[in-house]
Amino acid sequence: MLQDEIAKLRRKVEYNRGLRKAQAETELVETLVRVDNGEALRIADSTVERLQEMQAKAAARNIRLEPYREAEARARRALAYSMRVAKRHDEALTLLRCAIEIYEELDNAPELIHTLQLLNLTYRDLEQFEAALATLDKALALGRQVGYGKREAAILGARGLLLSLLGRYREAEQDLEAGLDLARIAKDYLTEFVILGDLGLLYQRQLKSEAAEQKLNEAIELEESRHIIGDLNRMVMYWNYSRLQADRGNLRGSVSLLNRGIALADSAGLHNDKASMLLYVAGMQTIEADYAAAMATIGQVLDICSAHPFDAAVAKSYAMQAIIFAAVGDELAAGEAAEACVELLEKIDVTPATGYFEVMAAAFHLAELNLQSFDAAPYIAAFEDSLRTKRDSGNLNKLPDICISLGVLLTNYGDRQAAQQVLEEGIALSRRADYGLTQSTLQSKLGSLFASEGRHSKARSQLDEALELASRAPYPHVQIFSLELLAQICDASGLDEETRKHRQELETLRQRYCSPDVILALRRQRDKDRILGLETELAAAQSELKELRDKISVLQRQMQSRSAQNKQLTERLAHLTEAMRFGEQEEHTAFQQRIEKMRAEIQTGMEQADWSTFEREAGEQEQEFMRRLIAAYPALTNTERKICALIRLNNTTRDLCRLLNISQRSVQVYRYRIRKKLQLPSEADLNAFILEF
C-alpha cells in the first residue's frame, strides 16, 4: 500500500513543472520519510533551495509570492520532519521556526497548528518537556481562537502525554480523557487509538493495572476492527500489552500477544525485535516450568542471531539456559552456559545501543546463580540509577521488576541490608498493583535472603506467601524454588512433618517438570545449538580464508606482472648505460647526466607503481596493518614500511629483492634497521613479530 502511494507520488513529480513540481516533491517527502529517509532528505533539501530561487524570480517579475511562500513553509516542515528522523534535531528546530514565521505571516492557522505539533515532537525528542508543553498550549489556544477544533483532540492527547512525562498525572488524565471524548465525537479513530494507548501507559506509571488493562484492551479492539495503524506500531502495541499481562500473571495471554508481535516482526524483517520477543516467550515458558519448550524457543533465538548477530540476545539466551539447567539439577550444564554468558558480557558495553534490556536481564539471571566469576558492580550501578530515575519521576511502571533484579544482585554481590529494603519496596508496589507473578517472585527472593542469614521465621513467612501465590496461578518455577528453600529451612529447624510435606510436594513437581526425559531433551537441544553455532563459525572462517586467499592470489599476480616490467626497464637501462661508453668524449658528461636522470626516473617509477598496486589491491586487513604500524612506529621510512607489508604477505628475501629491485645485501640492511626501530631483541624473529602485530 505504502509503496503504491510512493510510486503514484513519483509519477506526479515527473509530470509537473515549476511550483506544482515542488509541491508534489514535498508530498513525496512526507511519505518517503517512512521508507527511505536518506532520499527524502535529499529531495526536501533540493526542493527548499529551488523554491527560494523561484521566489526571487517571481519577485523580480512582480508575481504574487504567497503560493511560493506557502510551498516553502510546507517544504521546510517536511525537511524538518526528515531531519528529526535523522536525529538532526537542532537543524529541525531552525527549519520549523522559519516555517512558523511564514505561516504566521500568511495567517494560515491550520498549517501553523500542524507545524507547532511537529515542533512539540522535536522538543520532546530532546526531552525539553516544558518547551514542548508551551508549544502545545500555543497550538491549543490558537485552534480555539480561530474555531479550528479538528486537531484539538490530538493536541489534548499530546499535552496529556507530556504532563504524564512531567509527573503531573491528574492533569494528564484530565487532558487525555477530554481528548478521547473529542476524538470519539469526531470519529477520529487514529487519535482515539493513540489516546487509549497513552491512557494505558499513564495508568501503568501509577500501577493502576486494572484501568491500564481496560484501556489497552479498548485500543486493541479498536485497531483490530478499524485497521488504523501499520504493522510496526501494531507490533509495539502487542509487545507492550504482553508485558502488562505477564505482570498480572496472565502468562498465556502474554504469550498469545507476543506471538502476534513476533509474526509481524518476522514479516517486516525486524530480527532483533523478533529475538527479544522470543526471549520474553522463553521467560514465560520457564515460569510455567515448560523447560523443553523454553529451551527450543531459545534455540530459535540463537538461530536468528547466527544469521543476524545480536550479542545481547545471545548473552541472555546463555543466561536463561543456565537458569533452566540449574532448575532441573544439571549443575555442570548450568555452569557451562553461565560461563559462556559471562565471557560474552565482557565484550558488550552496558548501553541502550547494544541491547540494554537483554544485557541487564542476562546480568540478573547470572546473579540468581550466584556465579563468583561474574563482575556485578556495573550492573548494580545501572539498576540503582534506573531505580533513582523512576523514583524521582514518580513513574512506577516496571519499578517492581527493577526491585527484583537489584535485590538479587545486592543479595549476592552487594549490601544485604539494601537488598532487603529494595525487595520490600518491590513487594509493596506489587501488592498495590495486583502483580501476582512479580509479588511471588519478590517474596521468594526475600525469603531466600532471610534464609541465608539464618532468619528462618521471616524466611518461612515470605516463602509461604510466595508459594500460595505461585500455587494459585500456578507458577511452577516459583513453586519449585520456594519449596526447595522451605524444605531446607524446616529440616534445619527440626520440623520433620513440615519437611516431609514440602519434600513430597517438591518431588511431585519435579517428576512432572524435571523428569529424566525433560533433562535429556534439554541436553539434546543444547547440543543442537552448539553444533549450529560451530557450523556457523566454521562457515564464517572458511569464507574469510577464501577471501584472504583470493586477495593473496591477486596480489601475487600483480606483483609478478610488475616484476616482469621491472626486468624490462632494468635491461633497457643496462643497454643505455652500455651505449654511453661509445659516445663522443665531449658529449660524455651531458650523456651521463641524461642516463642518471633516466635511471632515477625509472627506479622511482618502479617503486611508485609497485606500491600503488599494493595499496590498490591490498584488502582491509593489510591497510589496517599499515595504519597500526605507522601509528606505533612513525620513525619507519616508506621503504621499511613496504618491506614490513611484504613480509606480512609471506614473501621471502629473494621475493623482496625481486619486487623492490634491490640486492640481497640491501634487504639484510633494511631488516637490521627495521629490527632496531622496532626495538626487537636479538633472539626475536622479525617475521613472526610482523605476522602477529
The answer, yes or no, to whether residue 277 has pLDDT greater than 90, is yes
Residues in the chain, overall count: 693
**256 is written with which cell numbers?**
498469545
> Is the entire prediction scored with pTM above 0.85?
no
Greatest mean pLDDT among 416-425, 471-480, 501-510, 657-666 lies in 416-425
With cut-offs at 50, 70 and 90, classify the pLDDT of residue 671: confident
Helices and strands in the chain: count of H runs, count of E runs: 32, 0
pLDDT digits (tens, 9 = 90+) for 495-512: 899 999 999 998 888 888
Higher pLDDT, 271 or 584: 271
Grid cell 505477564 is found at 246
pLDDT digits (tens, 9 = 90+) for 416-469: 999 999 999 999 999 988 888 899 999 999 999 999 999 999 999 999 999 998
C-alpha–C-alpha distance, residues 363 and 345, integer Å: 8
Q: 676-684 long-range contacts, Cβ below 8 Å, gap at least 24?
A: 677/633, 677/635, 677/636, 677/640, 678/633
With cut-offs at 50, 70 and 90, classify the pLDDT of residue 586: very low
Look at 95-99, 225-229, 648-652 and tell me which has the smallest mean pLDDT: 648-652
User: Between helices 18-32 and 37-60, what is the axis angle to 10°?
Assistant: 160
The rounded percent of the chain whose pLDDT value lies above 90 is 34
Look at 10-14, 332-336, 416-420, 613-617 and tell me which has the smallest mean pLDDT: 613-617
The answer, yes or no, to whether residue 354 has pLDDT greater than 80, is no
The answer, yes or no, to whether residue 394 has pLDDT greater than 70, is yes
C-alpha–C-alpha distance, residues 166 and 168, integer Å: 6
SS (H, E, C) 300-320: HHHHHHHHCCCHHHHHHHHHH
Higher pLDDT, 92 or 658: 92
Look at 337-351, 446-460, 619-633, 653-667 and tell me which has the smallest mean pLDDT: 619-633
Q: How far is CA 153 from CA 141, 190, 352, 453, 502, in A?
A: 13, 11, 33, 57, 58
pLDDT digits (tens, 9 = 90+) for 146-166: 776 668 899 999 999 999 888
C-alpha–C-alpha distance, residues 150 and 186, integer Å: 8
Q: What is the pLDDT of residue 585?
A: 47
pLDDT digits (tens, 9 = 90+) for 596-614: 655 555 555 555 555 555 5
The answer, yes or no, to whether residue 522 has pLDDT greater than 90, is no
Mean of the per-residue pLDDT values of the chain: 84
User: What do you get for the CA distance between the two ends of the chain, in Å?
Assistant: 54
CA 522 to chain centre: 30
Q: Is 388 exposed, middle or buried (0-12, 13-18, 19+ CB in 10 A)?
A: exposed
Q: What is the pLDDT of residue 513?
A: 80
Q: How far is CA 191 from CA 1, 130, 229, 230, 359, in A?
A: 21, 23, 11, 14, 35
- DSSP codes, 362-421: HHHHHHHHT-TT---HHHHHHHHHHHHHHHHHT--TTHHHHHHHHHHHHHHHS-HHHHHH
Backbone angles phi, psi at 288, to 5 degrees: -80, 0
Look at 127-131, 185-189, 526-530, 669-673 and tell me which has the smallest mean pLDDT: 526-530
Average pLDDT of the residues in 475-496: 91
> Considering only CA atoms, which of 315, 294, 299, 298 is closest in space to residue 362?
315
Higher pLDDT, 99 or 556: 99
The answer, yes or no, to whether residue 644 has pLDDT greater than 80, is yes
For 377, other C-beta atoms within 10 Å of its C-beta total 11
pLDDT digits (tens, 9 = 90+) for 102-125: 999 999 999 999 999 999 999 988
- Cβ–Cβ < 8 Å for 630, 636: yes
The answer, yes or no, to whether residue 81 has pLDDT greater than 90, is yes
